[in-house]
Structure 1
């Protein structure tokens, strides 16, 4: 039996009292069920801190896209929590990943930047650290 691999993994690290570093890795074609699992984990972490400032590294090197309902879930997540994110670095390896990041940047209230190299993305996120 062939299994199609997809999902969202999330890692959360707190730095100081109100700064979070979040690593999100998207694999395959994301489904509504993937968001049902990931969103409560992210929201629980954000809810535990007053006015969190989130720095996020999103790895989409194995990302193939969304199912329609999952795309809606992603949009809703951005609307609900977009202002809590200080910077989002997107790491990908395809031209359409970069294009998608540029389009998302038009609709996102946070600083968003695309990278082909993870090390450059991490360095950009850490520029604001004291």
Structure 2
């Protein structure tokens, strides 16, 4: 599931990412993100990861297309979650992404939002 949550500022997108992602999830969220990118230029992303499963192939394809198209459209990314693989994966991909990325534990959610509000 991709769920937009309330945000402290309009240029910050707060997403809850959980369960198995499908193309339908991306079809709902991507137009909102693209509208915000047009409105604000670069966005800041707060992604709360919970019980994430392997996405469907269609969802994976939607994610890749979005990531390629909007490679430079995020200045900061806060990843919030517990699994150790999440921190390891973020560390692995962060040199490939122009955005500044930080990982926060679940109980540090407020710190993650404060960092983005900055």
Q: Higher strand share goes to which structure?
A: 1
1:43-100 per-residue CA deviation (whole Å, 9 max, x = no partner) reads: 12222x2x52311100002322322332222122122113121100000111112122
**Alignment match, 2:88:** 99
Gaps of 5+ in 1: 1-6
| Distance change (3 Å), C-alpha of 1:14 and 1:115 | closer
Question: Among residues 5, 23, 26, which one is paired with 2:17 in the alignment?
Answer: 26
Question: Among residues 113, 118, 121, which one is paired with 2:109 in the alignment?
Answer: 118
Please tell me whether Structure 1 or Structure 2 has the larger radius of gyration of its CA atoms: 1
Matched position secondary structure for 1:82:
coil
Q: Greater relative contact order: 1 or 2 (C-alpha under 8 angstroms, separation 6 or more)?
A: 2
The 5-angstrom pairing of residues 1-130 of structure 1 reads 7-11=1-5, 13=7, 15=9, 20-47=11-38, 49=39, 52-116=41-105, 117-127=108-118
Q: If the length of structure 2 is used for normalisation, what is the TM-score? A: 0.82
Q: What count of residue pairs does the alignment treat as equivalent?
A: 116
Distance in 1, matches of 2:91 and 2:20, equals 20
